[in-house]
Structure 1
């Protein structure tokens, strides 16, 4: 986020009507400034380099360069920009392609306006955000992934026992509020633990934390929620 001013948002969608609708929704909020629009994934990097957006709303299906490829290029060229994927699809390949490309959030286009605005603020603040159904998809896919790599488990040595407990609960799909109730602590304490976990493991966000939890074997496939 740039200083104390409004969040700078770049809209990327090949549908003229969708872009107009998004601009109308975002322009109604004084905390957000739309700094540009693109109808093609190829335009994103150039526009973002000049507009310096805090958040990029990215469509998935676009001609010439899709949203996943555009997200990957943007993550490399303008790493400060956070990407929030907006799509009508919940297909696994789109979800994992977007997240592996560097997206910080994934929302369906049927999301209500107020939820979209909240999501933009969440992503801009450095948090990851997924629709509940998408979160479940991520966890189910990781549970069915290849066996954990013992070599990766050494990454967990940097964590305290309580931080490992928190990471395990995150990987099972619990929210900060639910984890706080499980461990009988305040939600603010869990937020602090999460910040330390991400810093110690050099992770971008909560989604990457879930992946690491399964890859290291901290949480086993089929573990109960």
Structure 2
């Protein structure tokens, strides 16, 4: 299945450069390139994208408000933030608004592809620095533990392996290949992990994995 992407950024030269790179990829197709969030909302009915990749800044339309509107009106569309902005409040606000991932523009094209594929499969994806700031925000507000998670939960060795791969943004198929098991088995492990930890989404799994040193963070 080809993932259909709608891209928005004020820097149109950057969009054109990304579009050229995406033309070399078989499973991802850019349906439309627009300059701001307002144009995104107007183009959705015509383009029917699977994923919207957008920056947060625009002089015309507030990015977080746009994310919230898109998530409300088109809940089936996944939203990936690609931005230079990297602070706790922006990340928290955009995730609460409904974004599925947050990646920084300093990332490699390989990492961007990985993020898009993970999100298209129904997962979330966070740049390591973003994951670090998610944890930083928890610590600053005094919430050292993931809400509802049993920090002494008895995860099996295999569940710990799966948790690490999931927290780092890998898809079920990627994890299955790495661990030489089926994607269905990976999904079962994920379900068991979430039940044991009391986590309801990948954001909380990432928090748990960071807090317990299960995934390493890049500086």
- When normalised by structure 2's length, the TM-score is 0.72
In structure 2, what is the equivalent of residue 115 of structure 1?
A: 111
Shift of the 194–144 alpha-carbon distance from structure 1 to 2, 3 Å rule, reads: farther
Matched, 1:52 2:74: no
Matches within 5 A, 1:176-195: 176=166, 191-195=187-191
1:110-164 per-position Cα deviation (integer Å, ceiling 9, x unaligned): 211122122111110111111111111112212333559xxx75x98xxx9659x
Alpha-carbon deviation of 1:107? 0.9
Q: Distance in 1 between matches of 2:37 and 2:123?
A: 24
Residue 64 of structure 1 is matched in structure 2 by 60
1:118 to 1:209, Cα distance in 2 relative to 1, 3 A: closer
Aligned residues between the structures: 194
Structure 2 runs not aligned, ≥5 long: 169-178, 214-219
Q: CA deviation at 1:177?
A: 8.8
Mark the runs of 5 or more structure 1 residues left unpaired by the alignment. Answer: 179-185, 214-218
Tell me the distance in 2 between the aligned counterparts of 1:31 and 1:224.
35
Q: 1:142 to 1:118 in 2, by over 3 A?
A: same
Answering whether residue 122 of structure 2 is matched by residue 126 of structure 1, we say: yes
Q: 1:1-225 residue pairs with structure 2 within 5 A?
A: 4=1, 6-146=2-142, 153=148, 162=155, 174-176=164-166, 191-195=187-191, 203=200, 205-209=201-205, 224-225=212-213
Q: Retained in 1: the 8 A contact 2:118–2:125?
A: yes
For 2:205 and 2:22, the matched residues in 1 are separated by 30
Say if 1:176 and 1:190, in contact at 8 Å, map to a contact too: no
Shift of the alpha carbon at 1:195?
Answer: 3.8
Q: Structure 1 length normalisation: TM-score?
A: 0.70
1 CA distance for matches of 2:16 and 2:104? 17
**Following superposition, which runs of at least 4 residues in structure 1 exceed 2 angstroms of deviation?**
143-148, 160-163, 174-178, 186-203, 208-211, 222-225
